[in-house]
Structure 1
Amino acid sequence: MKGRNTLINSILILAGVGLFAGIFGAIFGIGGGMIVTPIMTIALGLDIKYAIGASVISVIATSSGASIAYLKDDMLNLRVAMFLEIATTVGAILGAILTGVLPAKVLYVLFGMLLIFSSWNMLHKLRTSKKDAEDTVPDELSEKLKLNSTYYDQANKKQVDYKVSNVPGGFSMMFGAGLASGLLGVGSGAFKVIAMDTIMKMPLKPSSATSNLMMGVTAAASATVYFFNGSIKPEIAAPLAIGILLGATIGSRIMQHLQATLLRKIFIPVLFLIGLQMFLKGFGVNFG
């Protein structure tokens, strides 16, 4: 009886973690894996190998739950996603292969640096002024590929037309995003959002929505490697995925109705502290 209660508690905890990760992952376009892996390793004490395996599944679940809602509302840019996914898929496969030769401490440090960088980027977006989308000049490649698009901003109650610029620069950064995804078992959505929002000059909301779709494809490309090396445990990944699917659906609705500024202000210190803990743990400094 005691063992059964322990099992039920574990399932509920994992589902709760998944719900939380799904909501925030869908809102920010950074993937549930950015939240799941630190919580699983630091708070629950799970070996980072299995945490990363569960994280890959959580990224796929986040992408599935959020992308359905974003696709129905024409928020994500399918043309941009499919073009840039070429670079991220190649990077993800290479990263997944390389992860087997790196020690756990290195993964902790790399993961911590990725989280700290993400928090810095969010803080930077808060401090910089908003650029008028009409000032963005599309390059020749974006015109040929018909990457420019439009979406309805429910928070501001207006239709927003936007242009896509610097496609080669965004493509290059997407390869790095895929490499981080395969190496660390995350969707590397922060890099994807940066590539689209900062380099390619897409608005933040379609950048986040498109990032959610791409994360699932990228993670799926590396999931096979993690499955065959024994990193994915169904008893961990399944409850997480259920919670994340529900959370991602909720998060995708919240993102469309709220301004991103307040959410960034709440999430930045949380993301930074988790990243700092992961970074220091890589050097043997443990908390709790």
Structure 2
Amino acid sequence: MDVLTLILISIPSGILGAIAGLGGGVILIPLLVTMGVPIKYAIASSIVAVIATSSGSAAAYVRRRLSNIRVSMFLEIFTITGAIIGAMLTVYIPSKPLYFIFGLFLIVSLIFMRKRISDELPFNEKQDRLSSWLKLEGDYFDEKLGMMVQYKITNALWGGIGMIFAGLAGGMLGIGAGIFKVSIFELILKMPSKPSSSTSNFIIGMTALAGASVYLFSGLLQIYLVAPIVTGMLIGSMIGARILNKLSNKAVRIIFIVILLYVIIQMMYRGVMA
């Protein structure tokens, strides 16, 4: 496979990953496998590429106050805990039923996300005591609406438990947990779509950094794959970071829902074939 082809298929993955908050791996891995790349090499390359996506978009998101650093630091503790537990349980629990369990969660997320598709501004959510104590709130300038948007996070404890679930999914199934994280941000924590996507990308980068070291020592990182993929994903993520704040929250949700539907179909297929 030539370098130019790898770069060209990585750019749209980086764009969509940056906009939807998924890192891009969920889009890139099936493309690489379809083009003949062994699944283990595809996953290893994708993990490193996700770091590039996160890095490429994080600077712009933090500068524009789209990524909520305080929320990221709080929730990453739970995500890493879930990922470690999930990796340990993988040895003892068969993957077949897990695809259906996590797939069912995503179907429920799809239903509720569909109901919120037209919400442009956050509701005046009443914070619980923990969320208020941790000062889990934020604001950003919405270029599409032309105004400052303020929001408050609620259900911090349930959000943390949800992130353990997201970490479990990533650790047990070897998939990116971004699709779960964005669902939890929006449906449990009541975070607007743009901060949800950008904060998810920020967290994904930290999580992927830990996983990349494992693949580095395993010998699965192939420079002829990693270099062009990282280049393409980095370019795509920087483009996506510029696009995100110009889109409406409805458009961001539609993009996420389309990818979510694709992931649900993929998970159910894997469950049947496992």
Is contact 2:20–2:255 with CA below 8 Å preserved after alignment? no
Match status 1:87 vs 2:78: yes
2:178 corresponds, among 186, 189, 193, to: 189
Alignment correspondent of 1:143: 132
Unaligned runs of 5+ in 1: 1-8
Q: Under a length normalisation based on structure 1, what TM-score does the superposition of the two structures give?
A: 0.82
- Equivalent position amino acid for 1:44 in 2: M
Match status 1:230 vs 2:222: no
In 2, distance between residues paired with 1:274 and 1:207? 18
In 1, distance between residues paired with 2:57 and 2:192? 18
Is contact 1:63–1:212 with CA below 8 Å preserved after alignment? yes
- Equivalent positions of 1:9-20 (< 5 A) are 10-20=2-12
Alignment correspondent of 1:22: 14
Q: 1:118 to 1:84 in 2, by over 3 A?
A: same
In 1, distance between residues paired with 2:244 and 2:198? 9
Q: 1:21-46: per-residue Cα shift (whole Å, max 9, x none)?
A: 110000010111111112122x2132
- Equivalent positions of 1:108-119 (< 5 A) are 110=99
Q: 1:70 to 1:82 in 2, by over 3 A?
A: same
- Equivalent positions of 1:69-84 (< 5 A) are 69-84=60-75
1:184 is displaced (CA, Å) by 4.2
Moved more, 202-211 or 267-276: 267-276
In 2, distance between residues paired with 1:97 and 1:57? 22
- Equivalent position amino acid for 2:129 in 1: E
Q: 1:254 to 1:48 in 2, by over 3 A?
A: same
In 1, distance between residues paired with 2:6 and 2:267? 20
Match status 1:39 vs 2:31: yes
Q: 1:10 to 1:98 in 2, by over 3 A?
A: farther
Alignment correspondent of 1:48: 39
Is contact 2:179–2:260 with CA below 8 Å preserved after alignment? no
- Equivalent position amino acid for 2:197 in 1: S
Q: 1:21 to 1:189 in 2, by over 3 A?
A: same
Q: 1:172-210: per-residue Cα shift (whole Å, max 9, x none)?
A: 111122232334444311211122111011111111111
Moved more, 204-213 or 174-183: 174-183
Size of the aligned set, in residue pairs, is 273
Match status 1:215 vs 2:186: no
In 1, distance between residues paired with 2:161 and 2:193? 19
Unaligned runs of 5+ in 2: none
Q: 1:135-193: per-residue Cα shift (whole Å, max 9, x none)?
A: 30111112221111111111101111111100011001111222323344443112111
Is contact 1:54–1:236 with CA below 8 Å preserved after alignment? yes
Is contact 1:84–1:174 with CA below 8 Å preserved after alignment? yes
In 2, distance between residues paired with 1:193 and 1:274? 13
In 2, distance between residues paired with 1:195 and 1:178? 12
Alignment correspondent of 2:49: 58
1:77 is displaced (CA, Å) by 0.6
Secondary structure class of the residue paired with 1:18: helix
Alignment correspondent of 1:156: 145
- Equivalent positions of 1:127-138 (< 5 A) are 127-128=115-116, 130=119, 133-138=122-127
1:247 is displaced (CA, Å) by 0.4
Q: 1:277 to 1:215 in 2, by over 3 A?
A: closer
1:115 is displaced (CA, Å) by 7.5
Alignment correspondent of 1:255: 244
Secondary structure class of the residue paired with 1:150: strand
Is contact 1:192–1:211 with CA below 8 Å preserved after alignment? yes
In 1, distance between residues paired with 2:22 and 2:154? 22
Is contact 1:93–1:221 with CA below 8 Å preserved after alignment? no
1:131 is displaced (CA, Å) by 8.4
Secondary structure class of the residue paired with 1:200: coil
